[in-house]
A and B are shown apart, each in its own frame.
Chain A
Amino acid sequence: MQVPAPFEYERATSVDHAIGLLERLGTGARLIAGGHSLLPMMKLRLVTVDYLIDINDLRRELAYIRFEPDPARPRSAGPRAGRRQSVESRTGRSASDDEEPGREDAAGAGGPMPGASGVIRVGALTRHRELLEDETLRRACPIFHEAERVIADPLVRNRGTIGGALCQADPSEDLTAVCTTLDASCVIRGPQGERVVSMTEFYRGPYETAVGPDEMLIEIRIPLRPGGSSAYEKVGRRAGDWAIVSCGAAVWLADGVITDVRVGLAAVGPNTTGIPAIAEALRGRPPSEELYAQAGAIAAEHCTPVTDQRGHAEYKRHLAAELTRRTLRRAVARALAGGQEPLSGDGPGAP
C-alpha cells in the first residue's frame, strides 16, 4: 500500500494567497493542482512535503484559454478591425459546464484561424481534457490537440493540468515539447511580481524549472504568427505510456517558401531551443521531402537519447529523425491548406 508521509493541507483562495502561503511556509510547502505527478511521487516517498497547498479552487483565476488578436494586424477589415478584442473560452468546471453554448460560440465566431496573429493565453490550471477539447486551440495550434490525445489517458486528463505538467518537468513529458515548438513563454508570479520567461529559461533540466520556491507558474503564452501550422507525433510502448520519443513541428510559410521552422522533441534529452539549425537549413526554400529528411537528420544530431527500458539510444535517434519528417510534412500541408486540411486521427475528444 502506497501512502504519502503525513503533511498539512490548506486550500488557497486566490493566487496571491497561494504565493503568500508559499512565502510563509518555506521550502517544505508545495502546490498541488491535478496531483497526478506529485501524488505518485509522494506515495513513493520520492517527495516529502510539510504543507500541501491545494490550488484547485483557483479556476476562476487560472483556468482559461484566451485568444487575443494582434491589434496591429487585424484579421479582417471591418467595423471592429484594429480594435483589441479578446475571445475567451472559460474552461468548464464539469461536464455540464463544458456544454455552455457560449464556449463553442466564442471559438466559432471569433477564434483564430491559422494565419491569424496574436497570442493565446492559457491559464496554468487548465486541465488536459480542456486543452484537448478547446476549439480555439485546435484550430490555431493543431499540435496541442494531437499531443493531448496521447498524453496519459482520459481519466488522468480529467485531472492533470498544463501548469502541473510543465512544472513537473519530466524529461519525457509532452507539453514541454509542444510549448517549445510553439515558442511559448511562461508567466511566473511571486512575491516580487511577475516575470515572463522563454521555455529555455523555464526548463532547467529533469524535474527542475525556473519557478522558485515561493513562486508559481500562472500562464502560458503562445504567440501566433500568420502562415503557420503545426503537428505532433508520439511513439509509445502502449496506450497511456510515456513517450519513447515525441516530436512536434511548427512551420511558417510565405509565398510558397519556408520562413521559419521550430521542432520540439521529448524524451531524448533537454530540448527547448526549437533547434535553430533546422530553421537555418530550411528557411527561404520551398517545402520538399528532401528538406524534411534534412530536418530529420539535424534533429537526430541535436538530441541526446539514452538507452533505457523504453528503447535503445540509436532507435530513439532514428525516431527523432523520422518523427521530425512526418510532423514537418503534416504541418506544411496544413499551413498550405490554410487550416482546411482535417486533423489527422480525429475521433475521440474531437467535437
Chain B
Amino acid sequence: MWVTVTVNGERFRRDVEPRLLLVHFLRDELGLTGTHWGCDTSNCGACAVWLDGEPVKSCTVLTVMADGHEVRTVEGLEADGELDVVQGAFLACHGVQCGFCTPGMLMTARALLDRNPDPSEEEIREAISGQVCRCTGYASIVRAIRWAAAEQARARTATDGVGQ
C-alpha cells in the first residue's frame, strides 16, 4: 500500500508491504543506514528513531503505522552541516566505541535534553535504559550527555547574556 512518511523534514511516498518494519523502510527503501538494525526484538534500542517527536524502537513499528507521520533519524540531527551538540559531545567524551548503539543513543539523548535540559545522572541512565551498549561504554555515554547539557547551557548563557 502507498504511504507518505516525512523523514527528517522530507516527504517520501513509497509503495510498501504492510508488514515492512519502519527500520527496514528507513534503511532499505530510503537508504538511511544511520539507523541500525540490531536485536529485532525491541530490546537493544539500536534502531531508535523519533516518531512524532518521541523516541521509539523502529523494529517494532510498521511503516504503514508511520503513514502521515513524522520520523526523525540520526541523519536529521545535524543542521546546516553542523553536528548537533549531542553528536559533538559523544566525540568529545569518547561516547562512541564500536558505534553500533550510537545512533539510537544520540536520538534518545537529544529527546531527553529537549524535555529536560539539565538531567541528573540517574535521569540520563533511566532515559537510555532501553538501549544496550555491548562495549559497555555507559559511563562515557552518560558523561557525554552531561557534557552536552552543560554545553547547551553555556551556549544559551552566551546568547542570552549574563544573568539570564
Instruction: Say yes or no: B41 contacts A94, CB within 8 Å.
Output: no
Instruction: Say yes or no: A52 contacts B55, CB within 8 Å.
Output: no
Q: Which one of A6, A8, A9, A129 has the highest number of Cβ atoms from chain B below 10 Å of its Cβ?
A: A9
B84 within 8 Å of A (CB atoms): no
Number of residues of chain B lying within 8 A (CB) of chain A = 34
CB contact under 8 A between A95 and B111, given known A9-B64, A43-B40: yes
Q: Mark A66-105, 1 if CB is under 8 A from B, else 0.
A: 0000000000000000000000000001111000000000
Report how far A349 CA is from B122 CA in the complex, Å: 11
Residues of A within 8 A of B130 (CB): 152-156, 240
The number of residue pairs between A and B whose CB atoms lie closer than 8 Å in the complex comes to 93
Residues of B within 8 A of A1 (CB): 40
Instruction: Say yes or no: B42 contacts A36, CB within 8 Å.
Output: yes
A87 to chain B, nearest CB (A): 24
Report how far A43 CA is from B130 CA in the complex, Å: 20
Residues of B within 8 A of A93 (CB): 52
Instruction: Say yes or no: B129 contacts A240, CB within 8 Å.
Output: yes
B16 to chain A, nearest CB (A): 10
Report how far A9 CA is from B65 CA in the complex, Å: 9
CB contact under 8 A between A155 and B56, given known A35-B65, A239-B129: yes
A residues at B contact (CB < 8 Å) = 1-9, 32, 35-36, 39-40, 43, 52, 54, 56, 93-96, 129, 152-156, 158-159, 239-240, 347-349
Q: A3-B21, A6-B17, A39-B60 are in contact. List 15 more A-B contacts (CB 8 A).
A: A8-B18, A9-B62, A43-B40, A52-B62, A93-B52, A154-B108, A154-B126, A155-B55, A156-B60, A158-B54, A158-B55, A159-B61, A240-B43, A347-B126, A348-B127
Task: Show 12 A/B contacts (Cβ-Cβ < 8 Å), sorted by A.
Answer: A35-B60, A39-B60, A43-B40, A43-B41, A54-B64, A94-B52, A152-B130, A153-B45, A153-B130, A154-B126, A159-B57, A348-B122
